[in-house]
Amino acid sequence: MTDTDGSNVLFVVLDTVRKDRLSVYDEDRETTPHLAEFAAEATVFDGAVAPAPWTLPVHASLFTGLYPSEHEATQEDPYLEGATTLAESLSAAGYETACYSSNAWITSYTNLTAGFDHHDNFFQIMPSELLSGPLASVWKTMNDNDTLRSVADRMVQLGNKIHEHLAEGGGGDTKTPQVIDKTIEFIDGSDDFFAFINLMDAHLPYHPPEEYAERFAPGVDSTDVCQNSKEFNCGARDIDDDEWDDIRGLYDAELAHMDDQLDRLFTHLKETDQWDDTTVVVAADHGELFGEHDLYGHEFGIYDPLVNVPLVVKHPDLTAGRDDETVVELVDLYHTVLDAAGATGQGEALQSTRSLLSADYREFAGEMGGVPRGEVGFVEYHQPVVELRQLEGKASGAGIELDEQSRFYSRMGAARTVDEKYIHCTRIPDEAYDVGHDPGETENLVGTDAEPEALADALFEFVDSVDATWPDEADGADGDVLGEMDDETKDRLQDLGYID
């Protein structure tokens, strides 16, 4: 170490990765053996809770230490504004910072890359230099000006549409090898580094490299299976058990490819004597549903395959092994990274009770709804106005009328402890589960003697604490969010390809 007070930090997000498909959490699976080797020298957390079920609000929480209702980068306004980021704090502490991904949300366009000295999104169509490097400030200027922003929006729209066309035909090849190459180049050129990477292989559509497809989905043509979650979710497309097996096989193949690439990065750190000086965080931002609760993808629900995510952390202050007793909120990783880096935070200040490295981690004062604050994690899902418009389009094309009193039109929230979970939706009855004994969330306990009423109280107290604005219950007030948006916001969502 030279200028900084802490270790190097490598933060890896495995986008859209379910716990139960990883070798780390199921030793009988052969998908991620290298990640399992890493986990053997790290702490594996069973109770990690994502603050939302999709990329943008989760990453905004990771970068700010704030919940979605606090940072407000949500469905209704998909931009992070007015918050000091983790990268900005670490840059001020003397770290060189970089962000590499192939996720369209993690760009200067959404302000998620604020504070990173280097970033690249590896767009297939749009030159990455438009979003990173020396032209990043130009891109930000374009987005801060109403007239110029419309130009930037159209550029993103073109890139997304061409990418979607290629991906649907099986041509959306993985960018993970390039992300790993760029990360290795960055860390080798840095004395003190914070490297954040997002690996997108496990995100729809699934078109794994051939050698991995042959191992996990032999004989499956990825262009023949359903790769559009909204077709299934609206009822326009049925998926039988055999096709689900094929889909899961393709997904597992993507995991195996990602595992090999991540091992390449870890091996390089070890061979160059950087491993011991590097804190490594590996987490998913959210998971995926494969027909559970009649849902596909990561929309319209906050069930555990989406929000109880994998988390593995390596640091000298953490004992290697499995932790199945602690609720970890992904929001806490912001504070954990600050702590590992020896930084205090220029935005949200470092809180020791939120750092995994602290002896008093999760020892919060007080309760929420009668539940000790440190024992509960919270999830927010703002009304899915973006996905809803696409869902309505698929339904309309198939002659299907969606029920407005359904989860599709709902705003959702959840409170989860190690053993219990309570879900509130604005348009359908509440749900509660004993996730300790019913991990599949199959038996709804609401209305029974086993209903965790204190957890419901905790959820609503949390909603008040983050000043979340929830619509009136099922009275139609929450059904026309897009109609209440200004034209500029709707145009931005359309340009990103989220509204037809």
Over 80: is that where the pLDDT of 491 sits? no
What sign does the CA torsion over 320, 322, 326, 329 have?
positive
What is the pLDDT, as a whole number, of residue 110?
Answer: 84
The mean pLDDT of 215-243, rounded to a whole number, is 96
Q: What whole-number percentage of the chain has pLDDT above 70?
A: 83
Identify the weakest region by mean pLDDT among 63-67, 123-127, 367-371, 423-427: 123-127
**Distance between CA atoms of residues 208 and 31, nearest Å:** 13
Give ∠ CA 54-78-362 in degrees, rounded to 5.
50
> In the 3-class helix/strand/coil scheme, how is the chain assigned residue by residue?
CCCCCCCEEEEEEECCCCHHHCCCCCCCCCCCHHHHHHHCCCEEEEEEECCCCCHHHHHHHHHHCCCHHHHCCCCCCCCCCCCCCHHHHHHHCCCEEEEEECCCCCCCCCCCCCCCCEEECCCCCCCHHHCCHHHHHHHHHHHHCHHHHHHHHHHHHHHHHHHHHHHHCCCCCCCHHHHHHHHHHHHHCCCCEEEEEEECCCCCCCCCCHHHHHHHCCCCCCCCCCCCHHHHHCCCCCCCHHHHHHHHHHHHHHHHHHHHHHHHHHHHHHHCCCCCCEEEEEECCCCCEECHHHCEECCCCCCHHHHECCEEEECCCCCCEEEEEEEEECCHHHHHHHHHHCCCCCCCCCCHHHCCCCCCCCCCCCEECCEEHHHCEEEEECCCHHHHHHHHHHHHHCCCCCCCCCHHHCCEEEEECCCCEEEEECCCCCEEECCCCCCCCCCCCCCCCCCCHHHHHHHHHHHHHCCCCCCCCCCCCCCCHHHHCCHHHHHHHHHCCCCC
The structural domains of the chain, ordered by start, are: 8-364 (3.40.720.10), 374-495 (3.30.1120)
For residue 134, what pLDDT band results from cuts at 50, 70 and 90? very low
Per-residue model confidence as pLDDT tens digits over 301-343: 999 999 999 999 999 999 999 999 999 999 999 999 999 999 9
Asked whether 307 and 53 are in contact (CB, 8 A), the reply is: yes
Per-residue model confidence as pLDDT tens digits over 40-99: 999 999 999 999 999 999 999 999 999 999 999 987 778 899 999 999 999 999 999 999
What is the pLDDT, as a whole number, of residue 138?
Answer: 52
Over 70: is that where the pLDDT of 128 sits? no
* Residue 241, number of CB atoms within 10 A of its CB: 8
Over 70: is that where the pLDDT of 493 sits? no
Asked whether 433 and 305 are in contact (CB, 8 A), the reply is: no
For residue 157, what pLDDT band results from cuts at 50, 70 and 90? very low
**Distance between CA atoms of residues 400 and 396, nearest Å:** 6
What is the pLDDT, as a whole number, of residue 79?
Answer: 86
The mean pLDDT of 274-299, rounded to a whole number, is 97
For residue 171, what pLDDT band results from cuts at 50, 70 and 90? very low
Over 50: is that where the pLDDT of 170 sits? no
What is the pLDDT, as a whole number, of residue 119?
Answer: 92
What is the pLDDT, as a whole number, of residue 6?
Answer: 82
**Distance between CA atoms of residues 221 and 243, nearest Å:** 11
Per-residue model confidence as pLDDT tens digits over 347-401: 999 999 999 999 999 999 999 999 999 999 999 999 777 788 889 999 999 999 9
- The pLDDT mean for the chain works out to 87
Across the beta sheet with 278-283, the strand order is 118-120, 96-101, 193-199, 8-14, 278-283, 311-314, 43-49, 321-329
Over 60: is that where the pLDDT of 155 sits? no
Asked whether 221 and 125 are in contact (CB, 8 A), the reply is: no
What is the pLDDT, as a whole number, of residue 389?
Answer: 85
122 against 372, higher pLDDT: 372
Residue 215 dihedral angles phi and psi, to the nearest 5°: -75, -40
